[in-house]
Structure 1
Amino acid sequence: MKKIFSFIWNWVIPVGIGVGIYVVITTFFINVVTISGDSMDPNLLDQQRVLVQKTENLKRGDVVVFDARQEDPRIKAGNKDYVKRIIAVAGDTVSYQDGVLYVNGKKVNQSFISTTEQNAGTAASFGSSWDLKSLSSTGLWKVSDRNQTVVPKDSYFVLGDHRSVSNDSRYFGFVSKKHVIGKIHVPFWYSTTVKDNIAKEEDHYFA
């Protein structure tokens, strides 16, 4: 009996506590995901493992992962979650003019991506000048998001850092807050440059 009690005390209870802590952490606080695709290149790379913090305190510049099955009406088979950067939040206006991205009429600091992506990449299929009204009138967006001039309540306008290949809010519309899984953090074992680039827009959003 003493041996059984010792085994339970020294092994079963610690393992049970460890499993319980792991479940609580991954369910309510943080998890690990693997990036799939190049839409956040060069700041997040294909097959790079990152941390996801489950939080509702999101702001412009945060990189988030969300359930794309609920947002993209043309999602490809097998895809599930997208990773993008929040450009605008509820109540914001968004416009693009000749290589300059504006939120509420203020120029966005885009030093975290190349000049090519700021220009041709952001223009993509929509030309050198666009805003929320013109994007939402293309017929590409979800019906509920069309003909909008500002980001709706509890929603976000998101873009990939690799604008020329990214399938983002320009193509499918706004991302609902309830479909956001969490905020991306780059683990300590990646280079300082990568971590700085991910955080750059978060700290200095407007130019």
Structure 2
Amino acid sequence: MDSQRGAVDLSARETKRLQTRDRLLDAAIAEFKRTGMAAADVGVIVAAAGVAHGTFYFHFPTKEHVLLELECREEFRIAEQYRSFCDAEQPDLDSALREALRQVMALDGRLGRLLFKDFLATHFSPTRPPREEGEGHPMLMLVVDRIEQARRDGDIDSDVDPVNSAVFFLLGVYALLVTVGDLPAREAILDDYVRRTLRSMQP
């Protein structure tokens, strides 16, 4: 009986801890969107989350750790959406790359300019804390799979390295989205980038 009560108490505490973490994450993301990570005020974040100041640092040792949490969640989110698209549509490589681009553009839209730039800065930072064991880059690996499939089907050059090509493609997408912003020519530039990427892999 006591062990059952202890398990219930532990479960309730864990649920409360996760709820507090989620409130802090949501409040921090809202503040980062408004000011950028560097200028974000932890006092504003904890006030919005309704917790004590020290609670923020219990869950997130630094503001960068908020972005790491966000990165993990968003990367798996877009990977799942991309996987669903590929499973349902069985797209050719052109459509697969355009869907990958669309998913990253949607992420840019959800986060907004300031937070998207901070998100990418953290993603590529040489000083970022290491990923947990088992955490990979699911979106990258799904794009690798599509390029590998195209290579097996003979749609692209047999010498193409799927990993390198996927890395180059996604790096270019991130760089272009940050660089072109909301320029009127944005869609044309991104369309041209996909076409040139495909051309570079042709026999």
TM class by shorter chain equals under 0.3
Which of the pair has the greater relative contact order for Cα pairs under 8 Å at 6+ separation? 1
TM-score by length of 2: 0.26
Normalised to the residue count of structure 1, the TM-score between the two structures is 0.25
Question: Which structure dedicates a bigger proportion of its chain to helix?
Answer: 2
